[in-house]
Structure 1
Amino acid sequence: MSKLSLFKNIAPYILLFIVIYISDDTFLFGTAEGGLFSKVKYMLYYMLPIPLIINVRFVSKSDAILIAFLIILIAITSISNFDFRGGYVYQVLVLILSFLIAKKISFQVFAKLFCQFMYIFGIISLIVFAVALLFPSILTFFPVVTNISGLESHNLFLAIVNIDEGHGVRNTGVFREPGVYMIYLNIALMISLFYSKSINKKYVIIFILCIISTLSTAGVVVTGGVLLSALFGGKNVFSKNEKRLIYLIPILLVAFIVYNEGISDLVFGKLNKDSGKYVSTLSRIASLHIPLVNFMDYPIVGSGLSQFNFDFERQAMLLYGIPLKADGTATNTITNKFATYGFTFGAIFMYGLFRFTKKVLSRRLIITFFLFVLMLAMFSNEDMRYSLFFNILFFYGFLTANTNPNAYTNIINKNG
């Protein structure tokens, strides 16, 4: 095998590893204090487009217009608001890199490798989660890292364990938040159930166990919706016994949560105004409400990044009497896009996600719409504007075909 052929075979694995691990969505490269890992990420992101541009030989006119139009909209927002911070440059960089990766790797390959990576990361995270529950003293042998909010965690490099007991032991995997991890897992679950020709039930089981162990209320609800969609989606995915088990899972899960005081307080405390965890619910409401208020003030070109941060805290004081900051509280990807860059930019991204759902997951209108709502619910739970993964899914929705003359498609046949 020539060196060129070898590179073409391993390149998709490298790119998928970067998308998942060396990402704004992970703890080490996204929110870890100190900046070493983030510097590595920035350097890689700035260098990677060059070889991708050289190797991507075919870009249709419609694809070129799409990426150019998005960049122009960002530039208009920046100029009209007299706001020239580096976040705009980084957003453009993430868009370009995501577009090139989506053009270089066919979705067939992306889906296969993504599920493989999430399966491996999932097994590792479950092992670490079990160790954290049963043998927490072992974690003291691993270094402690702090995120930008001052939260300390044990760094196991392929998993992160939160030290703050007030947050409880939750499965975070390598990601910055359990809520981010559940998004990756639910997308992997959707792909496994709706896109793959044959269902790998080992993958499905691991993804579901990981989602449950994140103790993410939104994650569990979305997973329930995904499983129900698979049951009624017309695909003969599960046997009769498996269907009975799926119907039984929500009942068992609710019973477990209700009778386990610690977990019950963690999940349902968010709904109790007298609970300290109610602030989490208030933050979720604010993350939806405040950007919409901001959008109404700047509907055409958006408020821009700097004004959005200022207005978010000001509106939080006016509406809720609490000085909530955009960093850490503005967790709704969809409404944030509308607020910062205006209606056209936000609408394009919503349409792209809908096209992705329709093209990749289901062509049945009712199932497509339901899965699209679940998709919006997930990405409304965390801010992933700068996520390669989120933007790649968006571009897969718009690309005219899942393959191109120079895409990595032969890896499927070689690796089964």
Structure 2
Amino acid sequence: MLRVSEVLRPLILPVYLPTLVQSMGMTAMLPIIPLIALELGFSVSQAAAVTLIGGVLGVLGPIPVGRLMGRVGSRRAIIATGLIQIVTAVGAFALVRDALAGPSGATHQVAFLGVLTVLGLTDQFWIIGRQSYLGAHLPPQHRARGMSIFGGMFRIGQILGPAVGGAAIAVGGLPWIYVVHGVGMTLATVLVAWGMLPGDEAQQRADVGGADAQPVDVLLIVKAGLATVPLTIGRLARPLIIPLLGASMGVDAATISFVFAVGAAIEIAMFLPAGALMDQFGRAAVLVPCLAVMGLAYVFTAVLVWMIPAEQHATAILTASTIAIALGNGFGAGIVMTLGIDISPEQGRTRHLAAWNAMQGFGRLLAPAVVSGVTAIATLAAASAVTGSLAVIASIWAFMFIPGVTPRPPRGPFSDRGY
């Protein structure tokens, strides 16, 4: 049996390093998109709405993307769409610079929407392609550790990206955020072209499947998704609920940012232990506490806001809530991607992963809908309580369902369950 280091080392160049630099470029760009939209003449509500393009493509895009990748292969699709992103970043730089140099009009706005559409759609190829590649090269006994490192690269990139992006904007202005993205995609594409071996038989089986490919089990994906969609909602609700809650309690922006940094550090520290726990004790042994702790943390946040005078303890409430949520979320590093591979057959895996990612896309769309919907009729604290309750309910479902559809772990309470 191969040791975990022997399995993971060959994945550094084709997957882990490209993921890190691509994530840095992407997350440097994302928070600046609404600001660019405002500069191009969009209203505040329109600037917020354009960010939904990525969410809609996350639901509608994976299935056709998966079908196309099944025909051309992951490596070719990733390299081709990487080149498209690089060209698009260059065009976006020229577009924004031209708009800021003079009066911007409808032409700039339409072109900007086109840029967001191209970037959002091509990003789906990278998400599904790398996940499929990892699924073909990670044996079940080391799969969770491999996927957790994959997720960890995203999280590190999410920390470094905004810092690099902020420095670029400080030096050159808003258009330079697309330079950061373009450089990140260039490095990532070169690494994939160099590191991913063409003609890899294992990957071809995962992409194409041939006559032995099984039809996509939609019911299984939906059932497993009932455990992971609330997790996605909880993850995406945090950057909505916590900052708005902090602002409503009088906490300044610098303090809110520092609190978020503390939470991010906790999550980064946990992604390696989370993968080891999944491989040794099973997926449910990580997903259940992840959902339960995160859910209870959101409910805990609501209770603190309702019971403690915010004007006296606002920073303490915000810090305690963020740390508790981060502890829960840190357990789940890589769990969604790991489950996607677990429930996908080897033959034709890419099509199954596409359907799985489309399911997760609903969570990304539902998160702002849950927060905005509840706050429209109640309070932010109530939105926190609802978000937490969904996660707690999902933890019960995960305990009952997930062990039966994931590999049996070597030890722990779930070792006698599963197939």
Is the TM value for this pair above 0.5?
Answer: no
The structure with higher relative contact order (CA 8 Å, sep 6+) is 2
Q: Determine which structure has the larger helix proportion and give its number.
A: 2
